[in-house]
């Protein structure tokens, strides 16, 4: 029995089903994918909060990327300094961008060299060596890497704030290393049918009848679960809910402080840009970033109009940020048509030091737990945790043949 059909629960359930187990997935919401959720509003695809799929995550190997029909952002970002916008683009992905990136006002040559060195280290050192480095806050680690000046304030802080959902950079340097590694090694994209389609792809691999939507679980033991419709027994129960619910259902499991984000969606008659690039918020502003989603994935819009997603860490109102969104894209505020806004109060758990990577997933007596709170607060963490939980369940249910294709019961 798997409780929760987010990426963690689906990763666990698909593995258990592939190994021949009789798996049932109980999901409280009316859709799969958990926090990767997409609505359709006036013909536009609207993810619940700006998020992207990073192909540098190791567990992305479990997905059929071709079927997701990803549209790509360029690796890098656009910044505004003294009223002028400049693009900072990874020259490996677009060699012709090297001269403008080299001259972009993100700090001295020394800082740019330090950024290249930091990227090479995170991207190409073996993971055990990265994790063996002394753990600090991200802010301290960047400072020690020579990245404390303009490059921090104009580029790294707003870029990382959009991913870590905090701008003090108090996140663990170990998570920063793993995250930066994924940016160095992969690309970031949006699926043609929205971020929810990532979960839907995994759910499609489950046997018919294994998924039960709108089935809210109120209690769990290693022998079964209690739902509004009654008690269901199981040989093993995997709790793959969000961190807060996991902590409520499972004594001894604690939830890290949640990070929140508010995303405002606007429509423009057309894109103001000629390349798909994230625009970073300016120091002192409320926006951490803003992106024309349809530049990366035209299928997020119905008719060639541009869909813009702009995020703030605090719970802002649209009127508070409209001018800033307009300035970010060099358009008039009156050109922006407000589509919707979404605040996600528990977007992801904090990853402050000490980072507890790969927390135990086998709680004993038939109870298992997985989710982004057991690994890293990301798509990668959720999927990796689900895979670990499935292995642990198989090990418990049939210790002699961990993952053979025989029936578990
Ligand atoms: C706005 C936003 C932006 C993000 N951006 C990124 C990004 O760009 N890159 C990245 O890697 N990560 C990003 N993340 C984080 C990423 O989405 C999550 O880390 C990941 O999706 C968590 O998956 P999960 O399966 O652990 O949990 P969830 O997705 O929370 O899944 C848990 C599931 O359990 C269900 N559930 C809860 N309680 C019960 C119950 N009692 N009974 C039955 N079912 C229950 C829930 O409905 C849900 O479907 C972002 C998150 C948000 C919200």
Using omega within 30 degrees of 0 as the cis cutoff, is the peptide bond preceding 281 cis? no
User: Which ligand 1 atom is at minimum distance from the Cα of 371?
Assistant: 26
Q: How far apart are CA 10 and CA 284, in angstroms?
A: 40
Task: Tell the residue nearest (CA) to atom 12 of ligand 1.
Answer: 378
Ligand 1 pocket check for 56: Cβ under 6 Å: no
Q: Which atom of ligand 1 is nearest to the CA of 35?
A: 29
Q: Whose CA is nearest to atom 30 of ligand 1?
A: 242
Nearest protein CA to atom 29 of ligand 1, as residue: 34
Residue nearest to atom 20 of ligand 1 (CA): 379
What is this structure's pTM?
Answer: 0.95
- How far the first Cα of the chain sits from its last, in Å, is 13
- Contact between 15 and 386 under an 8 Å Cβ cutoff? The reply is yes
Tens digit of each residue's pLDDT, the chain (409 residues)? 999 999 999 999 999 999 999 999 999 999 999 999 999 999 999 999 999 999 999 999 999 999 999 999 999 999 999 999 999 888 887 777 777 777 888 888 999 999 999 999 999 999 999 999 999 999 999 999 999 989 999 999 999 999 999 999 999 999 999 999 999 999 999 999 999 999 999 999 999 999 999 999 999 999 999 998 899 999 999 999 999 999 999 988 998 899 999 999 999 999 999 999 999 999 889 999 999 999 999 999 999 999 999 999 999 999 999 999 999 999 999 999 999 999 999 999 999 999 988 899 999 999 999 999 999 999 999 999 999 999 999 999 986 655 444 333 3
Q: Which of 11, 30, 34 for mutating ligand 1's site (highest number of atoms within 8 Å of CB)?
A: 34
Q: How far apart are CA 237 and CA 318, in angstroms?
A: 42
pLDDT of 400: 62
Instruction: Kindly state if the Cβ of 4 falls inside 6 Å of ligand 1.
Output: yes
- Taking alpha carbons only, the member of 257, 228, 252 closest to residue 239 is 252
**CATH of range 2-37+195-256+353-408; options 3.30.565.10, 3.40.50.970, 3.50.50.60, 3.40.190.10:** 3.50.50.60
The residue contributing the CA closest to ligand 1 atom 41 is: 217
Hey, which of 8, 35, 70 would you mutate to test ligand 1's pocket, going by the most ligand atoms within 8 Å of its Cβ? 35
Mutate to test the pocket of ligand 1, among 348, 359, 373, 389 (most ligand atoms within 8 A of CB): 348
Q: What is the 3-state secondary structure (H, E, C) of 169-234?
A: CCCEHHHHHHHHHHHHHCCEEECCCCCHHHHHHHHCCCCCCCEECCCCEEEEECCEEEECCEEEEC
Give dist(CA 362, CA 286) in Å, integer.
42
According to the model, what pLDDT value does residue 407 have?
36
Domain ranges of the chain: 2-37+195-256+353-408, 38-73+189-194+259-348, 106-185
CATH fold of 38-73+189-194+259-348 reads Polyamine Oxidase; Chain A, domain 2 (3.90.660)
What separation in angstroms does the CA of 237 have from each of 148, 217, 221, 245? 47, 11, 7, 15
CA of 34 to the centre of ligand 1 (A): 4
Residue 262 CB–ligand 1 contact under 6 Å: no
Per-residue pLDDT at 107? 87
How close is the Cα of 380 to the center of ligand 1, in Å?
11
């Amino acid at each position: 029995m798997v409780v929760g059909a987010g990426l963690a629960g689906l990763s666990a359930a698909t593995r258990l089903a592939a190994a021949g187990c009789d798996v049932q997935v109980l999901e409280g919401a009316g859709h799969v994918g958990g926090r990767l959720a997409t609505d359709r509003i006036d013909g536009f695809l609207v993810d619940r909060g700006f998020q992207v799929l990073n192909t540098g995550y190791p567990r992305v190997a479990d997905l059929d990327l071709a079927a997701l029909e990803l549209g790509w952002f360029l690796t890098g970002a656009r910044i505004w300094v003294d009223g002028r916008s400049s693009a900072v683009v990874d020259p490996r992905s677009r060699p012709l961008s090297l001269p403008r990136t080299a001259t972009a006002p993100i700090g001295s040559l020394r800082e740019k060299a330090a950024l290249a060195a930091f990227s090479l280290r995170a991207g190409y050192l073996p993971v055990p060596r990265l994790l063996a480095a002394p753990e600090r806050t991200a802010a301290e680690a960047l400072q020690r890497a020579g990245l404390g000046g303009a490059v921090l304030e104009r580029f790294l802080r707003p870029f990382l704030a959009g991913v870590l959902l905090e701008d003090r950079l108090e996140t663990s340097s170990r998570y920063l290393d793993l995250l930066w590694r994924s940016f160095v090694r992969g690309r970031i994209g949006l699926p043609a049918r929205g971020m929810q389609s990532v979960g839907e792809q995994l759910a499609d691999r489950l046997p018919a009848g294994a998924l039960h939507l709108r089935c809210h679980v109120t209690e769990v033991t290693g022998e079964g679960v209690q739902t509004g419709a009654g008690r269901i027994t199981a040989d093993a129960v995997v709790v793959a809910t969000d961190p807060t619910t996991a902590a409520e259902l499972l004594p001894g499991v604690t939830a890290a402080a949640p990070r929140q984000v508010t995303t405002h969606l606007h429509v423009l008659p057309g894109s103001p840009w000629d390349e798909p690039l994230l625009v970073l918020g300016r120091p002192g502003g409320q926006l951490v970033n803003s992106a024309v989603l349809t530049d990366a994935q035209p299928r997020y819009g119905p008719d060639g109009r541009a869909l813009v997603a702009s995020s703030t860490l605090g719970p802002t109102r649209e009127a508070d940020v409209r001018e800033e969104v307009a300035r970010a894209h060099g358009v008039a505020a009156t050109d922006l048509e407000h589509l919707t806004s979404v605040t996600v109060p528990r977007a992801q758990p904090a990853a402050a030091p000490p980072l507890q990577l790969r927390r135990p997933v086998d709680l004993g007596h038939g109870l298992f737990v997985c989710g982004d709170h057991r690994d890293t607060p990301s798509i990668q963490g959720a999927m990796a945790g689900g895979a670990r939980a499935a292995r642990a369940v198989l090990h418990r249910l049939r210790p002699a043949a961990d993952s053979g294709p025989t029936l578990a019961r």
